[in-house]
Amino acid sequence: MTIGILGTKVGMTQIFDDSGFAIPVTVIKAGPCMITQIKSTENEGYNAIQIGYAESSPQKMTKPRLGHLTKSNLPPLKHLKEYKVDSTNSLSIAQKITVDSFEVGQNVSISGTTIGKGFAGTVKRYNFTRGPMTHGSKNHREPGSIGQGSTPAKVHKGKKMAGRLGGKKTTIKNLEVIYINSKDNLLVVKGSVPGKSGNLLSIS
């Protein structure tokens, strides 16, 4: 896995290409991130780096995390994430990772938490068809039958029913990088990414 970066979703907009087509894009404020820990095959059994993002005040952090960062003379960082790498030879503690590690036209995978929509019925959650709305029907948005009778006399595991919708970690793969602004640490990708504006994202 290549080195990733953490960022914040700014929002969506559209840009026009040379042909005049409108391209829906998402603007992400990515980094700068700082390497907070390096793991090697000799010590941990695998090669990886831990990066930190978004400085915070020490009062808002737990003592274990604050001690972990202070040990390496690093500022208090709000978010930490680990990425596996092939080699750690050219990496060092406190090294900064910016949007310059990406290229225009490159495909990236972006992970984030989707928008939570609370408890939802089957029509909203799974696009079930509703029942008739007239002639005395009492089945408008109800799920209907959920299992067989005497055989096998149970509801099968994994049955699509009402429940909590959204609020889960999701990864969108192969999003094309359209534009990079190194000055403002902005990464513009084609398409949508999980979550609402201000959501924490992992780009790799």
Q: Are strands 107-113 and 200-203 parallel, antiparallel or unpaired?
A: antiparallel
Phi-psi region of 158 (alpha: psi -120 to 50; beta: other; left: phi over 0): left
To the question of domain 5-118+168-203 being in CATH 3.30.390.10, the answer is no
Taking the model in full, what pTM does it have?
0.82
Percentage of the chain with pLDDT > 70? Answer: 99
Residue 200 has pLDDT above 50, yes or no: yes
Instruction: Report the range of poorest mean pLDDT among 2-6, 22-26, 152-156.
Output: 2-6
Specify the pLDDT at position 2: 64
Specify the pLDDT at position 133: 92
Is the CB of residue 11 less than 8 Å from the CB of residue 196? no
Average pLDDT, the chain: 90
Residue 122 has pLDDT above 70, yes or no: yes
The model's pLDDT over 78-107, given as tens digits with 9 standing for 90+, comes to 899 998 888 878 888 888 888 888 889 899
Domain boundaries, given as residue ranges, for the chain: 5-118+168-203, 119-165
Percentage of the chain with pLDDT > 90? Answer: 48
Specify the pLDDT at position 1: 46
The model's pLDDT over 12-38, given as tens digits with 9 standing for 90+, comes to 999 998 899 999 999 999 879 998 888
pLDDT (mean) for 143-168:
90
